[in-house]
Amino acid sequence: MSSIVGNTHVLRANLPGTREEDCYSWNYESIDEIKTELAAQEYLQSLIRRHRFDIDTLVEVPPGVESLAWLYEHMRQICVELGYYLSTLHGECTELGCSVMRASETTYYCAGHGRPRPCSAMGYSVHTLDYAVRQLGSAASFPDRRHVLDSEIKHFQSMARRLYRVFAHAYFHHREVFERQEATTGLYARFVRLARKYELTPESLIIVPELPTTI
């Protein structure tokens, strides 16, 4: 992708042979610079690269973007990052050690089997993430990602409640992995801030003790 900034032609692309540490070496100062239908997604990803731990900046709705459309982009991005999160957790969270999904002492049934039934914690996490991704990509649930209706908030609430359990399981049963991931990504802090800002889950269900980044 390329654009004109002032009188300068700017190329924004990861060219073949680009080293990983040099990928995405461009930033957007304004969402208005992005002239594509995925402007909100590209702008959010740019913000995360620059301000990963500045949650206030990340959740602030940019000019020209609807509030629920911004939440939609955040939820899509959280699912992308949670996929990497689970790949890291996979070595610690085994079917033998975590044969059922628990957060603290509460056991959760998995809805990814037609009828809810017990499932390993990793199985539950993968099924839940798959459900969220399919929901976000469903034209029936979200016909227009740039104009999300108030009535569609129920979809966010359902997926947020289930996704929260993945973080809670990591915190209570794989604390070292949780803390290492949070120090690197700040993903849980971002997720909880959005859940509170948009009232996606009751406060009583937020059971991980407050972190400096989530207060």
Q: Which domain holds residue 87?
A: 67-215
Same domain flag for 60 and 84: no
66-83: pLDDT as tens digits: 999 999 999 999 999 999
Same domain flag for 26 and 71: no
Same domain flag for 171 and 141: yes
HEC profile for the chain? CEEEECCEEEECCCCCCCCHHHCCCCCCCCHHHCCCCCHHHHHHHHHHHHHCCCHHHHHCCCCCCCHHHHHHHHHHHHHHHHHHHHHHHCCCCCCCCCCCEEECCEEECECCCCCCECCCHHHHHHHHHHHHHHHHCCCCCCCCCCCCCHHHHHHHHHHHHHHHHHHHHHHHHCHHHHHHHHHHHCHHHHHHHHHHHCCCCCHHHCCCCCCCCCC
Binding site as annotated, residues:
93, 98, 169, 174
86-143: pLDDT as tens digits: 999 998 999 999 999 998 878 898 887 778 888 999 999 999 999 999 999 999 999 9
- When divided into structural domains, the chain yields a total of 2
Whole-model pTM: value is 0.85
Binding site as annotated, residues for Zn(2+):
93, 98, 169, 174
Task: Report the percent of the chain where pLDDT is more than 90.
Answer: 64
- Domain CATH code at residue 84: 1.20.140.30
Domain end position, chosen among 40, 65, 90: 65
